[in-house]
Structure 1
Amino acid sequence: MERLLMFLEVHQLKEQGFKVAAIAKKLKLSRNTVYKYLDMDLEEASDWVNSLGSRRKKLDPYRARIINWLKEHPDLSSAQIEDWLRERDPTIEIGGSTIRGYVSEIRDIYHIPKGIHIRHHESVEELPMGQQVQVDWGEITVKNSLNKEVKLYFITFVLAHSRYKYVEWLARPFTTRDTIHCHERAFQYFGGMPEEIVYDQDHLITVSENAGDIILTGEFQAYKQERGFRIYLCRKADPATKGKVENVVKFVKGNFAKHRVFSNIDTWNEKCLSWLERTGNYNVHNTIKKRPVEVHALEKQHLKPVSSLLSFESNIGSSITRTVQKDNVIKYKSNRYSVPLGTYRPRGNNTVFIEIQEEELIISVAPQGEILAKHRLCHGKGELIKNRQHTRDRSKGIQAYKETIIRQFSDQEKAELFIHEVAVRYPRYVRDQLQVIQQAITHYRSEIEEALSVCIKDQLWSANDLRDIAQHITRLKETKTPSPPSKQKVKNNNPAIKATVATREMNVYFNIIGGVS
């Protein structure tokens, strides 16, 4: 009877001049349903309604359960209802399209609309097998058995080619160490490691941005070097770059976690792994039109094998280290201490080592290595202890500064090209880059020309690269050419003492060695 009344309302609104879209919105129906009612006359509608009462459907035994779910959670998707049905009855054999139609029909009968959220994505080319994994984090608030809200955090991994997924949950925010451990378990789950991993600029793996470059946290940098994968950092919410994993985050929230009752984190993770096997990696993917689990069986052969041990974990944290911040300072006991401008490296490891000797803080590039700075210890808090020699040279304008540096090279054409490219890539940090180049010229004057040629040949347009290459060339020359033994004469430091060397006849020496007298 309800459907017959709805049929009459649709025709009445149409006679009053309402358009199909307006009728659908007013009566909370889909446009297809409105079109269906408008195509019927009263007799056809009566016959159709009567036939519904006698026709039995496969999902009728679950009808009451589905209605309760929809009434309690109107935003449930048919895909999530499908997963819930399969979770409670693994033997059910009903196609996804049948469930979608049945759920849609129930929504129409009981007027249970679903909120629609539209998000625009850009299509990208498919990547080869084993090339890339995309990683992202998410969080969601669910209710426990006491009907109290609990906030849960998760990390997701998805192989870009096969769409094979891995998810892990925590009941607290992730740390960098948690992230590393999850990577290891994901590699074990995938059966290997890809060539490249795509991330957001998340604080768990990155420190900050400087001169257009992104650096990693010390702990994650050590892990990257240990495993040897390549990373790509992109902007947050960038669907063109990491849309696959963003869809996975949405899928995990909407299909697995939404309206699920939380008991404890271990059980939650177990259920999530079951969900991955049952739904997340088993259902046909809408884009590739294949089951991720089947494509992964082929892609697995293209992943790099990984060992089960990480050597860096036993070494990390064994020394007193600090990370150089982008403003070329380190933090120690709530104070900031400066290091020479240019110490901060936009690409590379910014870890330095500190040592306390009496009332002096010594900062070096390695244990017992080159000393970068020395400061008197500050016993206050929130102070900036800065050596004035660590500041930038502001006495020249940018253009004059460029010309001054170019004139110090014998091949000024190459120097001009290099400095031009540096200025293009680091427009906000030109003076900082020039300062690093000047320091490199001062410390490695004999090797700077060769380092410049290497940078231009390999297209390394950074002052830090120029400095590092010059330093590397210097060390190579030092190891190949051992320094000759010292031939300096011993100086008499006490002018009051005057010694005269005695002279003897040759016969004296012959008598001593037993020769002819």
Structure 2
Amino acid sequence: MLTLEEDVDAHALRRQGWTISAIARHLGRDRQTIRDYLSGTRVPGQRREAPDAFVPFVEYCRRRLADDPHLWATTLFDEVRELGYQGGYSTFTRGLRRHEVRPHCEPCHATKGRDVAVIAHPPGEEIQFDWLELPTPPGEWGVGEHAHLLVGALAHSGRWRAVLAECEDFPHLVQALDAVVRKLGGTARRWRFDRMATVCYPSSGQVTAAFAPVAKYYGVGVDICPPRRGNRKGVVEKANHSEAQRWWRTVPDGLSVEQAQSGVDKLAARMDERRRTVDGVKVTVAELAAAEPLLELPLRPFAAELAVERTVTPQGLVSFEGNFYSVPPGLPGVRVRVVHRLGEDVLSISTAGRAVIARHRRAPRGAGQTVRDAGHVVALERKVLESFSDRAPCKSKVRRPPSEAALDEAERLRDRQATGSTAERVVIDLSHYAAVADRLRSVPAPKEENKE
């Protein structure tokens, strides 16, 4: 490539009558290069672009992506490699973007490339809630394919707190909501949700009759996001990303639910140290959250009835929220129901037929306590003692030959085998064959009938 100065010199020397070979020797360039610049085929300051190896495959890629707009680029790359494409993967994806081969998908690009309005969030105005489903939880949790984390974030300051729940039904939602707002130190004036079925009717966005008393109890309004508009609750969505990448990816196997809850609480406290700039003043998220005017919470949670199924252990215990509660003996392996009304200090354990078999004082969640009823302890000890015997254990190193009765029975079996008392007699002596042959020789021939 010639510089602008070299291009000027080449044109000047050419006008002075120099040959192309002389100009090439003078500038130290190739003759074909000088010829291209003098003819205008090449322009100084611009490199000659190499032929685009992607161009022959543009139409094929366009047709494939028209059939399947969400086809992975790696899959399409494997296909064009088999068709003779020699470039690398990064060159291939760059060609897809440059030629705009992939068609536009409106649901997937609802906010991409558009003007985005800035939504004002006054202090203490809104809390955004969202369920975060986390895949492949530890098997000891017994929650299935996903763990369930309810996240609540103050829209103004960005402070968030999260609570693990066993499932996403209505009682667990109410329990998790109460726990989140208490961790935040109060509640904002409005709660924002996406279209979860436990809060509203997904088709219309209207609040359900079951959730309306909950909002009245805490004195808040309820806002429902438009469908497929995740940006409307972007504060909690960003918190979800932090929890999934900074906490959930590092949760090891064998960790209990209570230990995992402690881990997410520590992460939330660290995230309060994030810095923000408000009106030119640098503050932290914790300082912003402390200045938010939050509403006071009721003394007790909303009285929703929480019911879960558990299996009785061989020790006559039932696990619930990090504690163990006793049941009467004789029920190991039986499925029972633990029923707890939120806000009350007692819980009950019933059978599948709803017959209450135990009632206990509820221990603090995750305390690791074992709550036993005195009557259950006595009954269990009596049951265990009844199964024991005061006789001395049998000795294993003794000599006990077969008895006379056993020997007689063995002899009878041998005789039975020798006499062939089975359905088909077994011949073991050839003399039997000779006797049968003699009898056949003495049998007279059958008489022939007279023919008329």
TM-score, normalization by structure 1: 0.35
TM-score, normalization by structure 2: 0.39
Greater per-residue helix proportion: 1
Rg (Cα) greater in structure: 2
